[in-house]
Amino acid sequence: MRNGPDISEVAALIGDPGRAHMLLALLDGRALSAGELAGEAGVTLQTASGHLARMVEAGLLCVEKQGRHRYFRLATAEVAEALSALLALADQGARRRVRTGPRDAAMRKARSCYNHLAGEMAVRAYDSLRQRGLIVVAQDGLDLSDAGHAAFAGLGVALTGSRKPLCRECLDWSERRMHLSGPLGTGLLTMVLDRGWARRETGSRVVAFTQTGEAAFRKAFPLTGDV
C-alpha cells in the first residue's frame, strides 16, 4: 500500500452524478437543506440523506443546525477550489455540455465561486493585480505588496486581521485561467456587491454587473492594452 492520502475514496464520492449535482449546487457558498439538495440531484430524500451523510463523514460537507432544521454547505474553500478545477477539466473534455443561452454567457462573465468572485471579470482583476505588481509571490503563496494594500484600502476592502495567506489562486473553469480566492477574493466579491457595481441573481450563481458598475470595475482593474 502506498503512503499518503487515498484520493480514490474522495474521487468516488464526487464521481457519483447525484452527489456531484449536490456539491455543485453548493458552490455559490449557500447552505441548503437535504430536501433542496435532493431536488438538485433528482433523487429521493432518503437517497439524498445517505449521500449527504457520506460526504459529511469524508469532510466534503459540514452541517449547520437551525432549530429543528439542518443545512449543508461545502466544508472548506479548498473543497470549492477542487470542484472548480474539476469543472475546468470536464469543460475541455469531449463530452462537455453545449453552452447556449444568455444565462450561460452571464455565468462565464461573472459568478460566485463559494465565497469569491469567478469568471471573466475575476480573471481580469487577477491579471491586473499581477501586471501592476500589487500581488506578489510569497513564501506561503501569494500576498499583497505595499502598493496592493494601499490600492485595496482605497477601494474600501478591509483586510485587517485576515488570515494568511491573503490570497490564493483558484482555477477558473470557464476561462481556464486563475482568479483569486482566500480573504482577498472574498473581499473583492463583497466590494462589488456593496458598491452596487453588481448584484446576485436570485437562484443562480450569476453576479450581474450593471453597465456603470462594469465600467468602474474595469477602471479599478486596468489591463495593459486597455483603450
In the predicted model, is pLDDT for residue 157 greater than 90?
Answer: no
Strand partners, 143: 136
18-44 mean pLDDT? 87
Query: What residue segments make up the domains of the chain, in order of their start?
Result: 7-75, 79-220
132: confidence class by pLDDT, cuts 50, 70, 90? very high
To the question of pTM greater than 0.75 for the whole model, the response is: no
DSSP 56-67: HHTTSEEEEEET
Cβ(96)–Cβ(194) under 8 Å? no
The residue among 11, 8, 19 whose CA lies nearest residue 74 is 19
Q: Does domain 7-75 have CATH number 1.10.150.120?
A: no
